[in-house]
Structure 1
Amino acid sequence: MPASNNYHDLLFPVDSPRLVSCRQKDPYRYAQDIQGFHPQVAEIIAGWRTAYAQPFKGLTSDGKVLPGLYRLDDEGAPTQAMTEAANRLLSELNDEARGKLRYDVDANEWRIWSNPEFLVNPCGLRLEELPMSTRRLVMDVIARSLSPEGYRKAEGCMWTNGFLGELCDLPQIMNEWSYNFLLFGTPSVDHPWGWSLYGHHLCLNCFVLGGQMVISPTFMGAEPNIIDRGPHAGLALFTDEELIGLELMRSLPGEQRERATVYRQMLDPAMPSGRWNIADQRHMGGAFQDNRVVPYEGVRASEFSKRQRDRLLELIENFIIYLPDGPRRARMNQIATRLDETWWSWIGGQGDNDPFYYRIQSPVAMIEFDHHSGVWLSNEEPAKCHIHTVVRTPNGNDYGRDLLRQHYETMHPGQCPGVECTHQHHR
């Protein structure tokens, strides 16, 4: 039987062993304990550490990074406002806090993010441990980096995390401020710098260089994806991504739908080893997958009608709505230019109540949408009230790495010959 899509049907009793066993633990103790009593989680974290130790290359379709896809440009990023907000934050902090917050612009800690509720890598500053005035300064940096719509979406992920903590009576593990914030480089209107925010169901990596920015990888999700009581009642996340994705799939001719459907079941016996795991489920581009090889699957958008291509671009823009106007226009143009090389693939059913996964993948973008089984809800099968989304910039430009490489080659010839920058630079 499919899981109910109504989260009210899936709540654990507040006195269930599942919840009671976590109630006296802070995020650090909980993260330690879960690796001890959950072998699959321990195995996944060990794999993450192995992946993190590998030099950055970038996600590819065949193991080979395609060159020449990205170029330095002025796209109208809100760099001045971002820089001013970041400097206000830095001036508020004492030396110890600034030391914890700041990393070199090419530090490997860009790649330390993860999206579960357990805190694997406590880098930077933990928002819930900061005074409210400092939290607001952090959020101002984020707000001035994102579009208004994107900021509301990110804030919505934080609110739904707090709502889940209320439903489970576990606010010490999941609340609105259960996130870590890192600052890379020195805030500047013309030099490279950026920030990272990560925690349960929200991970954003924002790189800026002059008038150009990259916000990628991103992870945005919610369990449940609606809030129906309290001060944020009426919030619903990822409804457009779900609806437009399903409409696009249904609009394809039968033969194209067949080719687009790579697996009919969300956990399909035909899936090879590694295609599904307990953490990412169907996602290919989640935490610590920076160098993953993800072959193209499904059907190419070159086969779509004009209406379907337009609908696909509309869907894509919903995923990158967090980019401010100028950078979003530039990113959409970059994606549209490669639309004939863009692949659409699907897992699951196409009925109104069927959970599903889809992926949009091209040389310059990889976007994933997935309905998940429960973690803090009781459904063992995927349900439409638990959603994860991932956006990646393949072929070496996650974290703005390819732009940083080009900047170094221009400003410091010979010092950074490849995609990966291994030398250290001052903040």
Structure 2
Amino acid sequence: MNNLLKISLFLFALLGSVLQSSSQNLAPLAKQFIESLDADLKKQACFPFDHTERFNWHFVPRERKGPTFHDFNEQQKAAALTLMRASLGEPGIERTEAIFALENILREVENRPPNDAYRDPLNYHFSVFGDPAGAKEWGWRLEGHHLSLNFSSDRHTIISSTPSFMGSNPALVLSGPEKNRQVLANETHMGFAMVHALNETQKSTAIFSEKVPYDILTSNDRRASLLQPLGIAYSALNSDQQQLFQELVTLYLSRFTPAYQGLLQDRIQEQGWEGFTFAWAGSEINAVGEPHYYRIQGADLLIEYDNIQNDANHVHTVIRDLQNDFGGDLLLSHYQKNHLRP
């Protein structure tokens, strides 16, 4: 990460921490971000709420719409970062900033030149859908390599923070000044702790395949579908295993703002933990070169973790909300009635 971005992240850390813990209303910050842009950048960043671009999400290096940190002056960069931080919980902020910085490490791992644009910590795009200053629904997205964060708001409240994708390549830095850095370490270690906590009979149910999917199965689908209900049921776990399972789910939900995380936890409590399952594929050895995958389903939530690429040193994780991705069925109905705009 370059020095200017580091300075901006530092200066706005305290402000972002206060904002993300105190409010679900992102509209004033989104409005400030938009107002900081000149006419050309506004044209690049702003879309109607019912535009097809809203669903055009992915997590691989590719051409994207929306301005990046390369396009921003310091005021604009600060406004963008403040909006980002207010939209996430502290663990989500930390992972997002680490994913930015990991592009520099990946550039070195792949022996790319210093000015390479394919691996670039500044190449993350900001897009706003709808009018944050208005009375209707609106949303925004931050996206680039290994990161796709999608937010929907209605009546001054975040009603959706999914799809939410975070990835890490390398999963574990093997050499250089950042050796042993592991951006998604907790997701990895707690997943292994969960499968290792099972007895052999439970493993025979939880482990559905020795072969690992090449990627997350939901990919970048517009609507995530409930995957085949493989794995072990929450009700088949003992109390210690159930506690570990709940901690693993909470780890993922902690990426979101405390208020939005609370909404999802309320849903889980209402529907009950008994409907959840934990499924595993691949190796039980926690080491580079040992492919593994797990997924969690329940309360209309779907969490996937996959590590197989680059000799099993390349992690993808995603949180999907089967009720409420991109704001859910109510907003989807709005799009369909008003015809999606190209």
CA distance in 1, matches of 2:52, 2:143: 15
2:3 aligns to what?
Answer: none
Aligned partners of 2:55 and 2:222 also within 8 Å: no
Q: Is the 8 A contact 2:226 2:302 kept in 1?
A: no
Supply the distance in 2 between the matched residues of 1:162 and 1:117 (Cα, whole angstroms): 14
Report the secondary structure of 1:125's partner residue. coil
Alpha-carbon shift at residue 261 of structure 1 (Å): 1.1
Give the Cα separation in 2 of the matches to 1:234 and 1:84: 39
Q: 2:309 aligns to what SS in structure 1?
A: coil
Could you tell me which of 344, 358, 366 is aligned with 2:294? 358
Which residue type is aligned with residue 255 of structure 1? T
Alignment counterpart, residue 322 of structure 2, candidates 358, 383, 394: 394
Cα distance in 1 between the residues matched to 2:219 and 2:200: 31
Q: Please say if 1:215 is aligned against 2:161.
A: yes
Q: Size of the alignment, in residue pairs?
A: 313
Q: Is 2:90 aligned against 1:148? A: yes
Give the 3-state SS of the residue equivalent to 1:156 in structure 2: helix
Contact 1:219 1:286 in 2 (8 A): no
Q: CA deviation at 1:365?
A: 0.4
Alignment equivalent of 2:36, drawn from 92, 95, 112: 92
Distance 1:196 1:84 in 2: 16
1:10 is matched with: none
Query: Are 2:256 and 1:331 aligned?
Result: no
1:423 aligns with 2:338: yes
1:106, distance to aligned residue in structure 2 (A): 3.2
| Structure 2 residue 188 is the aligned partner of structure 1 residue 238 | no
Match of 1:187 among 106, 118, 132: 132
Cα distance change of structure 1 residues 78 and 233 upon mapping to structure 2, 3 Å threshold: farther
Q: Specify which structure has the bigger relative contact order, considering alpha-carbon pairs within 8 angstroms and separated by 6 or more residues.
A: 1
Give the letter for the 2:159 counterpart. M
Query: 1:136 is paired with a residue of what secondary structure?
Result: helix
Which of 238, 242, 260 is equivalent to 1:309?
Answer: 242
2:291 partner amino acid: P
Shift of 1:229: 5.2
C-alpha distance in structure 1 between counterparts of 2:300 and 2:206, whole Å: 20
Structure possessing the higher radius of gyration over alpha carbons: 1
Shift of 1:358: 0.2
CA contact (8 A) 1:100 1:125 kept: yes
In structure 2, relative to structure 1, the CA distance for the partners of 1:303 and 1:404 (3 Å cut) is: same
What CA distance in whole angstroms lies between the structure 1 residues aligned with 2:91 and 2:227? 30
Q: Which residue identity lines up with residue 149 of structure 1 in the other structure?
A: P
8 Å contact kept, 2:24–2:259: no
Which one has the bigger helix percentage? Answer: 2
* RMSD (Å) for aligned C-alpha atoms: 2.6
Structure 1 position 367, deviation (Å): 0.2
Q: Distance in 1 between matches of 2:144 and 2:157?
A: 28
Is residue 199 of structure 1 aligned with residue 144 of structure 2? yes
Match of 2:119 among 145, 151, 174: 174
Q: Please give the secondary structure, in 2, of the residue aligned with 1:216.
A: coil
| 256 and 188 in structure 1: CA distance in 2 versus 1, 3 angstrom threshold | farther
Per the alignment, do residues 292 and 263 of structure 1 end up closer, same or farther by CA in structure 2, a change over 3 Å counting? same
Q: In the aligned structure 2, how far is the partner of 1:220 from the partner of 1:293?
A: 20
SS where residue 181 of structure 1 aligns? Answer: strand
Contact 1:117–1:173, Cα closer than 8 Å, also in 2: yes
Change (3 A) 1:424 1:179: same
User: 1:33 maps to what in 2?
Assistant: none
CA–CA separation in structure 1 for the residues paired with 2:280 and 2:159: 30
Deviations 1:228-277 (A, max 9, x none): 756x77743111111111111121221221111111132xxxxxxxxx4x
- SS of 2:163's partner is strand
Residue 313 of structure 1 deviates from its aligned partner by 1.4
Cα distance change, pair 340–234 in 1 and its aligned pair in 2 (3 A) = same
Q: Does structure 2 retain, via aligned residues, the 8 Å contact 1:163–1:175?
A: no
What percent identity do the matched residue pairs reach? Answer: 21
Distance 1:132 1:372 in 2: 39
Shift of 1:346: 0.8
With 182-191 and 312-321 compared, the bigger mean Cα shift is at 182-191
Structure-2 change in CA distance of 1:194 and 1:150 (3 Å) = same
Report deviation, 1:183.
0.3
Mapped to 2, the partners of 1:260 and 1:77 lie a distance apart of 39
Tell me the CA shift for residue 330 of structure 1.
1.9
Cα distance change, pair 107–259 in 1 and its aligned pair in 2 (3 A): same
CA contact (8 A) 1:184 1:193 kept: yes
Gaps of 5+ in 1: 1-75, 267-275, 406-415
> Residue 344 of structure 1 is aligned with which of 263, 274, 278?
278
For each residue in 1:262-296, what CA deviation from the matched residue of structure 2 results, as whole angstroms up to 9, or x when unmatched? 11132xxxxxxxxx4xxxx2411221352545221
Provide the C-alpha distance between the structure 2 equivalents of 1:105 and 1:99, rounded to a whole number of angstroms: 14
- Per-residue deviation, 1:93: 1.3
